[in-house]
Amino acid sequence: MRVAVVSDIHANIDAFQAVVNDFEKQADRILNLGDLVGYNASPNECVKLARDIGMHSILGNHDLAACNLAFAENFNIFARNAILWTRKNLTHENIQFLNDLQKNHRLSCGLACHGSPDDTSSYISLPFQARATLKRMRKGIWGQINVCLFGHTHKRKIWRMDVRGKVAPVEIPLDGMIRLNMDELYLLNPGSVGQPRNGDSRSSYFIFDTETNTVSFKLVKYNVASTIKKITEANLPEFLAKRLLDGT
């Protein structure tokens, strides 16, 4: 089975539609690792597209804050302003859709989460954070899994624990394709569709082939100017528009 894995769409309908067009004929299933809304100006359009294509979404910290403002307590001023706008503009039906999302999702060989399997809002960004999660995977805390899919950092990333227990990041090859060794453990982050932070404005996602155990990272160009126009018209913070231009 080929699973298109996306994350952090963040109400960017131009990016989301471009990515859907890209994987349309290549994927049997679509999985979203959270944060359908927040930051950008098209939350209802993104929820609608997610439903129309039958995408399975898990809960992100911005989805959570859109449903309950108490979860925006640690947000920076830009994220907080955007979530206040999002709460005002989301339909009741779409808030209910977000409210029904689950924290984690089980796959045949792995687990999908937003921040980390333990906490929607915590980051797997630094080596000690990756090591802690991989150690818990090795102990079987979440059952017998080799792969954990995560988002939240908005950066494409692979962490690997080898059979001796050594943890290191794995460089993503230029062609984007990596074959997993199923004797080892992996943390895989597809990057972000709607607000990439790899220093590249293109949307990022990957296709995970669960039969060949290959992961193919993709970068997709979308109409950034159109997204910026929507942000400006919605009176959302200018900073949120600027950061899309250089992917930071």
Decide whether 8 or 22 has the Cβ nearer to Fe ion: 8
Q: Which of 3, 4, 5, 8 binds Fe ion (CB under 5 A)?
A: 8
Decide whether 35 or 209 has the Cβ nearer to Fe ion: 35
Decide whether 78 or 109 has the Cβ nearer to Fe ion: 78
Q: Which of 14, 23, 27, 35 binds Fe ion (CB under 5 A)?
A: 35
CB of 80 to Fe ion, least distance (A): 14
Q: Which of 103, 106, 118 is nearest to 145 (CA)?
A: 106
CB of 189 to Fe ion, least distance (A): 11
CB of 152 to Fe ion, least distance (A): 6
State how far the Cα of 48 lies from the Cα of 243, in Å rounded to an integer: 25
Decide whether 155 or 230 has the Cβ nearer to Fe ion: 155
3-state secondary structure of 239: helix
Stretch that binds Fe ion, among 2-10, 41-49, 163-171, 182-190 (CB under 5 A): 2-10
3-state secondary structure of 22: helix
**Interaction of residue 63 with Fe ion, rule CB under 5 A:** no
Strand order from edge to edge, sheet including 105-106: 105-106, 110-112, 147-149, 185-190, 156-161, 167-169
Binding residues for Fe ion, total number by CB under 5 A: 2
CB of 154 to Fe ion, least distance (A): 6
3-state secondary structure of 144: coil
Decide whether 150 or 222 has the Cβ nearer to Fe ion: 150
CB of 28 to Fe ion, least distance (A): 26
Question: Who contacts 116 (Cβ-Cβ below 8 Å, separation ≥6)?
Answer: 122, 123, 124, 129, 133, 150
State how far the Cα of 68 lies from the Cα of 81, in Å rounded to an integer: 14
Range 77-96, binding Fe ion (CB under 5 A)? none
CA 27 to mean position of chain CA atoms: 17
Binding site for Fe ion (CB under 5 A): 8, 35
